[in-house]
Structure formats: C-alpha cells, structure tokens
Amino acid sequence: MWDYSQKVMDHFLNPRNVGEIENPDAVGEVGNITCGDALKLTLRVDRKDERIVEAKFQTFGCASAIASASALTELIRGKTLVEAARLSNQDIASYLGELPEEKMHCSVMGREALDAAIANYRGEKPPEAEAHPEGDIVCTCFGVTDKKIEQVVRQNNLTTVEQVTHYTKAGGGCGGCHDRIREIIEHTRAEMVREARERAGQGGERKRLTNLQRMKLVSEAIEREVRPALRHDGGDIELVDVEGTRIIVSMRGACSGCAAAGFTLKSLVEAKLREYVGEDVTVEVAE
C-alpha cells in the first residue's frame, strides 16, 4: 500500500478539471496505455497575453497519475505560458504534499504533457520529438529515450538506476537496459560537474569570482546536490553566508544537534561543494 498524502487522496478521489476542452488552443498527449500510463492535456489560452484561462485533462493511470494531472491543471490556470513553462515535476509533487518516490514518474508525465501542449500552441515539435529516431530508445519495455533519462537525472539529481525507474519507468521491465542507464547517469553527472566547474572558472583559465557569483554557485549546489539527500533523512540546511572560500551554513531539522552532523558536514556538504564550486572551499556551521 502506497503512503499517499491527504492531498494526493483528495485530488485522486475528487479530481479537478477532468474532461476535454472543446476546440482547445493547445493539446498535449504523452504516455502510452500499453505501458500503463497516458495523459491528454487541453488548454484554453488568452491570445492577448498567452495566459492559460482553462485547463482540463484525461488520463489513464493510477491514483498518483490522476492526482498529478489534477494538480497540474490547478497550478497552471491563470499563468502565462512562459510562467507555466517554469513549472517542474518537483513543483507538482510538492503541491501534493510529496509523492512516493516509486510514483514520481506521474509528476514527470504531467510536466511532459505541459511541454507538449505549449509546443503544440506555438506550432513546434514537443521536446521528446526532437530526439533522433535512431539509437535513442534505451528501455524497449516502456519506450524511454536517453534524452528523457538525461533530463530527469539533471532535473531531479538522480544517482541510481532505481531512481531513474521511479521517475521514468525505464528499467522496470526486463532489466536489460540497466547497464545503459548507468552509463547515462555517469555521463550526465560528469557533464553536470564539468558545467559547474566552468561556471566557477575551473574549466580552463580560472576566473576570479565575486562573492555574489560564488554565493550563487553555492546556493545552486546546495539546492541540487545537498538538500535532497538531507531531506531524505528528515534534515535540512540553510546557507548563512559566503566569505571568500569560507561557506557558513546552519543545519536544520534532524541534522540540528545530531551526533553525526560533523561527519555529514564534511563527507556530504563540503565534499559536494568542493566538487561543484571549488576545491579550496571550507564549510562551517554558524555559531
């Protein structure tokens, strides 16, 4: 039995905006019924400012799929297409009070339907259609491409095949694609490190960062690389200040006063920040 939040159950039992808009301005269809999940999103858009005035969905799937689609329509109504495009699958999950990790692929499907609808409105190909037809399918059981796996690894800071399966279903069938998924994870994360180092001036001639630039890099690394791991165990972290290479943080939640907090600070927080921000940074807890 999945541990669903009350909000997930509410949106499952009382889904909002179910149905299909007649003569919609935008349509986004993703998934495949033969693979277990499918979602159709239709939008009515005010062409003056490209604001979404109505959103409806039809879905075939589990409780999480229905709740995620319902939440999506509530989140995007009243937003412009530009504002809606900033929505992440994590935003959908957070709106629902979190989803079981094994069901995160439902929030990803909602995000993809929105991408497809926006592309349809603008007369463009949806992001998934941009993938090359040859050599892109990694998981033949569920038709998942390398592009999609790379995207969810980047957006959700994934590190294992199991996590990729939870977010995309890839690898959840015969398991024959596990090695390829591992390769994509390793390659993608190596690219993420390279990009972060280039932003920090380590990808060639080193730049001298201003304190504001360094603080931005630190904030990004904490949000992407550190906070998810701490929250998984009931903890959290807050960036207090950056003084040159000295980073000052405050440990929150279960991490506050924990006997292992010092080990976590060095083995996780400082290690990740040295990897993504600079090898000379040190991390301290605020007094």
Paired tokens of 34: 């033969």
Identify the pLDDT of residue 204: 47
What is the fold, at CATH topology level, of the domain defined by 6-129? Sufe protein. Chain: A (3.90.1010)
The CATH classification number of 211-285 equals 3.30.300.130
What backbone torsions phi and psi does residue 91 show, to the nearest 5 degrees? -65, -40
Inter-CA distances, 24 with 27, 40, 74, 237, Å: 7, 12, 17, 44
> Which residues of the chain are modeled with pLDDT < 50?
129-135, 204-206
Q: Catalytic residue positions? A: 35, 106
The CATH classification number of 131-199 equals 1.10.10.1100
Identify the pLDDT of residue 135: 45
The pairing of strands 51-60 and 246-253 is: unpaired
What residue spans in the chain does CATH classification 3.90.1010.10 cover? Answer: 6-129
